[in-house]
Structure 1
Amino acid sequence: MSQMPAQFEIVLNGAPKWVPVNTSVAQLLRSCGLDRAGVAVAVAGQGVPRTQHEQVQLEAGQRVEVVQAVGGG
């Protein structure tokens, strides 16, 4: 019987990153120390609304782009 992997690799902002299986967008952001209110996220080229961060599960090989808002004027 083969075991399920405990982690898989995604591409986060162009760099490889290993994450645990069943990681949501919200969990990824927390692990990176980012506030969900101040970022925009795209997974596999599709924007992910903040209201869906907990529900959207990442998959092996996906490209995730996170852009952090910067205030100023």
Structure 2
Amino acid sequence: MSTSNESIHLTLNGKPHSLAADATAADLVEQLGLSGRRIAVEINEQIVPKSQLADTHLTSGDQIEVVHAIGGG
């Protein structure tokens, strides 16, 4: 992420959230302290594979859901 003063405004798990204008989904995951965790990221109702998080740029108005994968049986 750059040190730009510009920001984008999106919805994260149903709540308003702001990020740097050039943020990627990977930046968001890192900001949330979830790097390396088993999570799923959905942007505008589309699941984003972990391998594509760093290449997925976020824009104002995006609807993002981040959920923790929970094992069980």
TM-score (norm 2): 0.85
Amino acid at match of 1:52: Q
Offset, 1:72: 4.8
| Offset at residue 36 of structure 1 (A) | 4.5
Instruction: Give the AA of the match of 2:68.
Output: Q
Provide the secondary structure at the position in 1 that maps to 2:23: coil
Who is 2:26 aligned against? 26
Q: RMSD in angstroms over aligned alpha carbons? A: 1.7
Match for residue 8 of structure 2? 8
Gaps of 5+ in 1: none
Does structure 1 residue 49 correspond to structure 2 residue 43?
no
Report the counterpart of residue 63 of structure 2 in structure 1: 63
Aligned equivalents of 1:72, 1:42: Cα separation in 2: 22
Structure 2 portions without partners, runs of 5+: none
Q: Report the Cα offset of residue 8 of structure 1.
A: 1.4
- Structure 1 residue 70: deviation in Å? 2.5
Greater CA radius of gyration, 1 or 2? 1
In the alignment of these two chains, the number of paired residues is 70
Instruction: Note if contact 1:36-1:50 (Cα within 8 Å) is conserved in structure 2.
Output: no
TM-score (norm 1): 0.85
